[in-house]
Structure formats: structure tokens, C-alpha cells
Amino acid sequence: MKKRNSQELSVYALRGADVDRDGQTLLSALPLQTQNSDMNLKERLSRLLEHINSQLGEDGLHRIAVAIYEPEGGRLKTYAAAGQGQQPLGLYEIEIAKVPSLSEVARTGKPRVIDEYQQHPSTQEHTRKIRQAGFRSALIMPLNFEHQFYGFVFFNSFAPGYFNRPLMEQFAPYADICRLLAVTSIRKTRVLRGAAQTAIMFGRARDDETGDHLQRMASYSRLIARNLADKYELSDEYVEMLYQFAPVHDVGKVAVPDSILLKPGRLDPDEFAQMREHVTRGVAMIISIAEQLDLEGDRRADMMRSIVAYHHERMDGSGYPAGMVGDQIPLEGRIVAVADVFDALTSKRVYKPMWSFQEAADLLRSEANAGKLCPDCVDAFLVAEQQINAIRETYGNL
């Protein structure tokens, strides 16, 4: 494989400062369809791919994909991909330390070019699937913003040596735009989560819901969503947003009095009515946070609000606060409801002992059969007992 020196790669060494300073100028050069704020990242990348090929005067770029870096655990996760044909990777993750070539790109901040995948020696699953999909060459760029590493953007072509051609000098601004779109999407998700979790920190000192509980909620919700992805056509981006936002489901509890939140016995009707108000108070908090961050109407803020608003709804209409029925309840609300019930049952609280996995599983199935919990979500969860127990062991619940 041909090695490239720093001079040869200069066209690809896109400067983060330029992206940061000129981001709005770059975005303003895109077609209006790509600037549509209602689009998810996959849709934006798809429109951008079409635009790049039209501007370069040929159909040579065939895939754009984004993988995000999760500092907790040092893992890379697929996030969004657009291109021709079925995407070869979805809901895939791997420890970055197990991929030395990507670790080097992350460390140095320098892009990497692969001229011919068929001659690439890697035996990693992701490389094998890329080869099997027919891709021949690649440009891999790190996603950096304000000295923070967010992941990678991958450009692929069915043509060998595509990213070593003179016309690719015209490609640099579009690569910057891809980076900007990806980093903006990731940062918005994390900023929203961070703002809501700041509020939760105040409540965490008052009740027994620890950081481990929040991580279990995130992990259980992601597990359910991954197992439902084929049936419900869920994107990697949807699964990641759910993972990020599930822990804020009970953010409104910071407004519940200690005398109710920490009561060791059963709540009386008046106390239970006050406890139920944590949902509407939580929704108001999320709306306020979104307004402060200028994210009203953003689909991320909408998902976070949906999780907070609907995780106590039940399929038969017996839940609260709206008494929604069946598919009226957004999927994210149904998913988090199952994760929340399971974690409540299998956690020791001031008012109850810890249940075993089997006891909790039996109740979840009973609630699904009774029309309370979503049967699809319950089935998708309980089929993964081994993974559930691994999550419980990792985050202090086993």
C-alpha cells in the first residue's frame, strides 16, 4: 500500500480552526434541503453526498459514515451513514484500542487514505464488511472540536485510489462540512444531556438513585432499542440519542419534597398525586432547557421531552399523565418504561427489597400480557438475559 507523506496529505489535513470559524459560511453553501433542521444526520449526509458528486462532476463518492467515540469505555460506535445500497455496518461498536490505525488517526489528528481495501491486511469485522460491500478506497478523518475528540468521518468509493486524484483538491471544503455537521449533531445531544443531568445532580444527593442507576437506565434502553432496530427501522442515531437521554427520565423528581421522595412506606393518595407531578415538572424543565439552549423544536430536545413525558404511560391507557393508549405512546416512552420498571424492581429501595432477575422478568411478562407494558419492548429486553446481568454487574446491581 502506498505511504503518503505529510505534504501529499495536506489537501486532506483540514484545519479545525477553519471549520470552527467559518462553519456557518460553509453550511450556507449547501443546498437548502441539506440545511433543513428537521433532518437527522443520515438524511443530511445523504443530501450532501449527492451535492458533492454533482459539484465534482462525477459519481465517485459512494458512502459517508460517522462513528462516535464514547470516552466511558473507550469505544467507537456507528452513528450515521449514507450512501448507495445497503449500509455494511449498523449498530456496531468496538474498543478503539483494538484498532491501531484509527487510534493513530485520533492521536495525531492526521487523516488516513486507503487506496485499495482488497489489499488491506486488517481482519477486523468492520473492514471485512466494507470489503464485502464492494468499497475499494477510503478517506478517514478525525472529528475534533476545541481540542476534544468526537470520533471519525469515513468517505468510501467503489473505485480504487479515488482519494488520490487531483480533483480531490476540490473535495476539502465538503469534507470540512461533513465534519461540521457531525460534530454539531453530537455536541447538541451531549449539551442537552449535560444540562439535564446537572439538574439531576441536585436530586441525586437527596434520594437513592445513584449514578449507577442512571447508567443502567441508559444501557437497558439501548439494549431494547438495538433488539428492536430491524422491526422498527431504528437508526444508529436514534439508538444513541435514546442511550444519552434515557437517564433524564425522572429529572422532575428534583421538585418532589424529600418527605415523599424518601418515604420508606407506601405513599398515601395525596402523596402519590404529588409524586406523579414529577412528570409535568420534568417536561417543563426540558422545555426550559431547550429554550435556553436555543433548541426549541430540535428533534433531540423533542426526544428528551418525549422520554420524560411518556415513560409512565401504559399501553391500556391506565398510565399518567395523559392516559395515552397503545401506539399513541412514542416508542422511546415505551422502551424507557420497561427499562425503568425492571431497574426499580431489581434495585433495593428504602421501601422495598431487591428482586431477582426471574421475579422481575415474570412481572414484566405479566404486565405485557395484561396490556400495560409494550410486548415488543419486553420481549426485546428479556431475550438478552446475559447482557442484562452484565450491565447489572458492571453498574452495581448484582
Q: Which three cell numbers stand for residue 327?
A: 401506539
- Enumerate the H helices of 293-374 as residue ranges: 299-310, 331-345, 357-369
What's the pLDDT at 86? 74
Rounded CA gap, 359 and 69, in Å?
36
Q: In the CATH scheme, what architecture does the domain 206-394 have? A: Orthogonal Bundle (1.10)
DSSP states of 148-217 = EEEEEEEEEESSTTGGGSGGGGGGHHHHHHHHHHHHHHHHHHHHHHHHHHHHHHHHHTTSS--HHHHHHH
Peptide bond before residue 321 is cis, with ω within 30 degrees of 0: yes
What's the pLDDT at 396? 82
> Max Cα separation, the chain?
75
**350-354 long-range contacts, CB within 8 A, separation 24+:** 350/208, 350/262, 350/263, 350/264, 351/263, 351/264, 351/265, 351/266, 354/397
* Residue 152 CA: distances (Å) to CA of 145, 162, 180, 198: 12, 19, 12, 28
In the block, residue with C-alpha cell 478506497 = 137
What is the SS3 assignment for 89? coil
Asked, colleague to colleague, whether 16-185 and 206-394 share their fold, the answer is no
What's the pLDDT at 22? 42
- Quote the pTM value: 0.87
What's the pLDDT at 9? 39
In the block, residue with C-alpha cell 445531544 = 189
Q: What are phi and psi of 6, to 5 degrees?
A: -65, -30
pLDDT per 10-residue tile (average), the chain, 398 residues: 39 39 48 61 93 87 96 94 87 96 95 90 89 94 93 96 80 88 93 87 56 91 98 96 95 89 88 95 95 92 97 98 98 98 90 91 98 99 97 87
Q: Which CATH superfamily is domain 16-185 in?
A: GAF domain (3.30.450.40)
What's the pLDDT at 41? 93
Strand partners, 83: 63
Rounded CA gap, 120 and 397, in Å?
43
The DSSP code for 113 is: E
Domain boundaries, the chain: 16-185, 206-394
